[in-house]
Structure 1
Amino acid sequence: MLRPLILALALLPAAATNRPPPADPLTATIHTEDADRFAALFAKTKGKPTAAQLKREYLDKGSFGIGVFTPGRIVDADTLARAIATNPTRYAQAIKTCLPAAKAATADLRAIYLGLHGALPDVKLPQVYIVFGANTSGGTAKPGAQVLGLEVLCRLSPTPEKLRQTLRHFFAHETVHSFQQDAGMTLARDPLLTAILVEGAADFIAQLVTGEEPDAARAAWATPREAELWHQMQADIALTRRLTDKDDPEEGSPEAKAYARWIGNYSTPPAGWPPELGYWMGLRIWQRYYAAAPDKHAALRAMLAVRDPRAILAAGTYKRRGGSL
């Protein structure tokens, strides 16, 4: 299936049992209870927990976050035990360096949640959980929860400073994806265009509340090339329009190449391109859409539902200075 998110940051089905209450931006906390329990077990077993121990002392006692993260990521205790045995140093480093840094990020979470609450006062802010997984996913968003896999995040951001920036991105960008699920957003029509708009909306709102460019290097590369990128994007959107979110285009087909040119290429971008350029293109569409919108709050709400991708594209179309493309 076509999916826009990287590092398995997938939009999951909206149905949830025992969904936690929304977070209050003034008192929001980062839930590390699962990670703390894992760290204690890791220390007790000298980095060699068995599957039975992991099931009994970690998974069976897990929070809502563990319940979200287990299907398709942790999978089960046997899978987790094998992942730990394969690379125990990775888990040890995450416990030593990144778990304390994650606990210190509460102030960032509250500041960003206050910004999101101000921009979108009616949305429900998800609880944030830090867990240890099977080294397969950096995180996922689900209505009511944002769950982060610390061993993967620590590999990608191995210092406290880098991890802080990564967490700020998650608290802003990925939280918007949980709002989009609550708003009933789907990829059923126009999958490439919708994926570009979904990711661009998350980057736009994240930039609005943090004041930070989501990827400065990508923006610097793309800005002087925007006209040619726009032409290529329009052609690729037209080519992929006959697909749906349930289609798997044949590997190497024109449709697959068109989709992968923009989305889902974090490790394999086109030659000479930065990865995930669809995020930036979506951000630019929404910047023009928002600038022209008389009701800014309605414009932000439109970014959550993405009801009419073609109308949004038309309203946010790229124009050269002094005229149309």
Structure 2
Amino acid sequence: MKKITFFIASLMSFLGGIGQSSNFSYDDYFYYKNNLFLKTPYVLITAAMEKSKAGDTTTAIKLLNEAATKGVYDTTLFTFYPETRFITKTAHWQSISQKIAHNRAIYGDPHNMQIITSDLNNFWVVFDKKDQPGIEQLIFKDYLMKGTPGLRTFFDMRMNSSVTKIIAFMHSHKKYLQSIRPVTQNLDRFKPLIITAANKLEALYPPAIFPPTTFSIGIFSAFGTTDGGAGSLIGAEFLCDTNTVVKDELNGWQASAKSDTSQLLGIIVHELIHIEQQTKSPENLLGKCIIEGSADFISQLVLGFNINGTHAHIYGNSHEKELWENFKKQMNGTKYNDWLYNGQSAPPGVPADLGYYMGFKICEAYYNKATDKKQAVKEMLTIQDFQKFLDQSGYGQ
């Protein structure tokens, strides 16, 4: 596979020539189709899945080995998918699992936690050139490919790998982005507070790890995520100064989802807790809500607040019995949109994401019943049976 430096124009030419057999190269096509130029753990693993499905386990093993060298800290990235699970039965697994264990050890000290803001500087350089010819190439070369693994993972996982969408966002939200620019350029001041919060989390849960937290500017697709295995990824476009923010370019959901920096530690700790979670993969609404609710609940223990603790809890506490009765009817199903990730479809007057609140209340009940509080936190982070956890909490009984 060719090494890539900058390729948008040549890629378009290449794709246009796919129909001409003399120009077609499967290796090039596979390379571009799977975004391998991003060189993040997740794209390497997904490419390995494709190779495995095609019966090319030799290349799949090479890709998985490469992914392990990129800072992967969780073996489930390899074992979750049937197409890559074969690696655990090969002689390569010992080496790969040792690399992952080494990465976890590196991330075990909260004092060494990386808080990365360099992608923000690169964003503003290209933002100032958004009206120039060739902006597509500039964004790709000077923002994405010059950026950190966290940004490239965010681009892959939450920006649909689309430079076009970034350009459209720059133009449709240019006044808003200018108004939040000073906030994004001053996020380094939060590094000591983030490290302090990480230390508190370690005191509460000693096995905790602390991979990098990367701030970048996306397209209003995620305030925070740990998807992709590159640590905590924070969308700084959600952060503003309430006194200077320009809101007339925002839709209703964006206006409600933006946040001032008083909530910053809440989102970072919430995402850190998702990293710590070693629960069974949830199969229904109950499991999903407990996973989200436990991240909020443990954030509350660490910080004294959580990111969903204002409107949702005010509403939830005044409608708790009604919410529980409705939740019980749906909790064993896989329909989530009444309870989770429904910021753009919640009924008028009802806060979005009330599943976080229900999960929080279940975890709160479990914690309050526990004699050993630190053990209760550990059990919360390692749930293997969500129904049993609910039953043991006593919530709703």
TM-score normalised by the chain length of structure 1? 0.77
Structure 1 position 223 matched with structure 2 position 328: no
Is 1:304 the counterpart of 2:387 in the alignment? no
Name the aligned partner's letter for residue 154 of structure 2.
Answer: F
Aligned-pair identity in percent equals 25
Give the 5 Å matches for 1:248-287: 256=335, 259-287=336-364
Structure 1: how far apart are the matches of 2:44 and 2:274?
Answer: 11
With 213-222 and 307-316 compared, the bigger mean Cα shift is at 213-222
Name which structure has the greater RCO, CA cutoff 8 Å, separation 6+: 1
Q: Distance in 1 between matches of 2:274 and 2:154?
A: 16
Is 2:231 aligned against 1:145?
yes
- The CA deviation string for residues 217-258 of structure 1, in whole angstroms up to 9 with x for no partner, is 3223322432232222111124x1xx4xxxxxxxxxxxx4xx
For residue 215 of structure 2, what is the aligned residue in structure 1?
130
Q: 1:55 aligns with which of 130, 136, 140?
A: 140
Q: Which residue among 341, 360, 366 is the counterpart of 1:289?
A: 366
One-letter amino acid of the structure 2 residue matched with residue 165 of structure 1: S
Query: In 2 relative to 1, CA 179–137 (structure 1 residues): closer, same or farther, beyond 3 Å?
Result: same
Map of 2:203 onto structure 1: 118
How is 1:82-231 mapped onto 2 (pairs within 5 angstroms)? 82-95=168-181, 97-142=182-227, 143-154=229-240, 162-180=259-277, 183=278, 185-187=280-282, 189=283, 191-212=284-305, 214-231=308-325
Give the deviation of 1:263 after TM superposition.
1.5
Is 2:366–2:393's contact at 8 Å kept on the other side of the alignment?
A: yes
Q: Normalising to structure 2: TM-score of the pair?
A: 0.64
Question: Which structure 1 residue ranges, 5 or more long, are not aligned?
Answer: 1-11, 244-255
Q: Does 1:313 align with 2:390?
A: yes
Q: Which amino acid aligns with 1:232?
A: N
Unaligned runs of 5+ in 2: 1-41, 46-66, 72-102, 246-257
**Aligned equivalents of 1:184, 1:310: Cα separation in 2:** 13
**Structure 1 counterpart of 2:235, which letter?**
G
- Secondary structure (helix, strand or coil) at the match of 1:122 reads coil
Larger mean Cα displacement after TM superposition, 147-156 or 268-277: 147-156
Q: What is the correspondence of 1:223-242 to structure 2 with a 5 Å cutoff?
A: 223-238=317-332, 240=333
Q: For 2:126, which of 41, 44, 48 is the aligned residue? A: 41
What is the deviation of 1:13?
Answer: 10
Max Rg structure: 2
Cα–Cα, structure 1 residues 212 and 147, in superposed 2: closer, same or farther, change >3 Å? same
Across the aligned residues of Structure 1 and Structure 2, the Cα RMSD in angstroms comes to 2.9
Per the TM alignment, residue 35 of structure 1 is displaced from its structure 2 partner at its CA by: 1.1
Report if aligned partners of 1:28, 1:106 keep a CA contact under 8 Å in 2.
no
Whether the 8 Å contact between 1:136 and 1:152 is mirrored in structure 2 is: no
Q: CA deviation at 1:121?
A: 1.1
The one-letter code sitting in structure 2 at the alignment partner of 1:193 is L
Shift of 1:51: 0.7
